[in-house]
Chains A and B, each alone.
Chain A
Amino acid sequence: MSKKARLWLLAVGGIGVAVLLAFAVFDLPGFGGTSHPYGDRAVRSALARHTANAISSVNFDQRAFDTLGEESILFAAVLGTVVLLRETRDEHSEPPEPVHVDPPVRRYALITLPVTLLIGLYVIAHGQLSPGGGFQGGVIAATALHLLYIAVDYKALEHIRPAAAYAVADAAGEAAYVLLGTAGLLAGSAFLANFLPYGTLNTLSSGGTVPLLNAAIGVEVAGAIVVLLARFLDQALEIEGGGAGGPRRHDEEGRR
């Protein structure tokens, strides 16, 4: 296809999308209006299920099956990364040189690590009450561990991070979500139905299965992020040879 034909094709496609978008925009309800048909129903439903955070009620109760899909996307993405970034036969692994870190920075990281971890767990545990939940809290907890690499040393991180254990945690979290869903099925209603008592509104134990599903997601996400970053860190710091590094110069010359 010639360059001109490709440009024409792009123009036609672009104009088509623009027209569709314009039609969609003119059909939208006004910005900041008072009519929220879906929102009203979701909030009413959330309160009926004693879940103070309506978003969590939608994510883990009213639309819990959609969340299973999202969780599986993360799971599959991390699995793909692990396969792509594995150490290939023409690569070898060397421990990175230790790095000097300013002592106050190191002390700060060691003190903040448990604080950050605690904040992550707090966000997971309060998902049914206040903004947050398994995903956000899991990411925060996983980031907390990496303060060890950022401000101490990669060796220190490797000590507390047997990647295989976190991979198991990742899979266990995913499995726990499905098992909780199946429990709803066994309790006599539907897959991922809320089968536990709803508890008192605005207490930690409210929401029935919502806190449990949040915990499952939290474990899955934290494990997934740790495994993901472990592959990135190994590639960037330890693995030598193969495609990257030396041959880069040849590539550049080849391109010129």
Chain B
Amino acid sequence: MNGWLVAAATLLVLGVGPALWGAATGPVRRRVVAQNLATLLVCLVMLLLAQGYARPAYIDLGLVLSVLGPAGTLVYARLLADELAAVPPTARVARAMTTLSVAAPPLVLPLCVVTGPGRSLAKLLVIGALLMAGNTVSGRAMAGGAHLQRETHDG
């Protein structure tokens, strides 16, 4: 078991475990945030596993999750809109999501350095960019109700 696999195991225990708890309990808004966080973390776990098992082909798993994960979150944001608008995520949650979306790409960087130039590096960079954009946007979509309400109060 090498360092990459240890990192993946740590991320599973400290990240995905709590996210599962968050998605299984509490109000809807917390569950949606937890689910979004879980897709982000599992995407990183996939990349770490690809490096740990020395199988560049496994990067495709992360690539697919980096586009479908935010799409899934947008599905919840769209179809649970009324429940999210009734109890919108607090500003703290929205901030945490933005922080995470900015924090994710640097986690891809060490993988990029180890991979070296080539097709895998290009994929990793694309995944990093997609994760950043996707999580910023899904954070915004979840807080969408809050934004709108504030706008109407102001106006």
Contacts and interface: CB of A to CB of B under 8 A. Distances in A.
Do A and B contact each other directly (Cβ–Cβ < 8 Å)? Answer: yes
Interface in A129-163: 129-132, 136, 140, 143-144, 146-147, 149-151
Interface in B103-155: 130, 133-134, 136-137, 140-141, 144, 147-148
B75 to A, nearest CB: 5
Interface in A89-123: 99-100, 102, 104-105, 108-109, 111-112, 115-116, 119, 123
Nearest to A117: B67
A108 B60 contact: no
A119 B74 contact: no
A105 B63 contact: no
Contacts of B12: none
A25 B120 CA distance: 40
Contact of B137 (A104, A116, A143): A104
Contacts of A99: 78
Contacts of B68: 116, 140, 143
Contacts of B75: 150
Given A112-B67, A119-B63, A130 B137 contact: no
A177 B141 CA distance: 41
Contacts of A129: 57
Contact of B78 (A123, A143, A144, A150): A150
Contact of A105 (B58, B64, B144, B148): B144
A102 B78 CA distance: 11
B57 A105 contact: no
B137 A123 contact: no
Interface string A75-88: 00000000000000
Nearest to A52: B57
Nearest to B75: A150
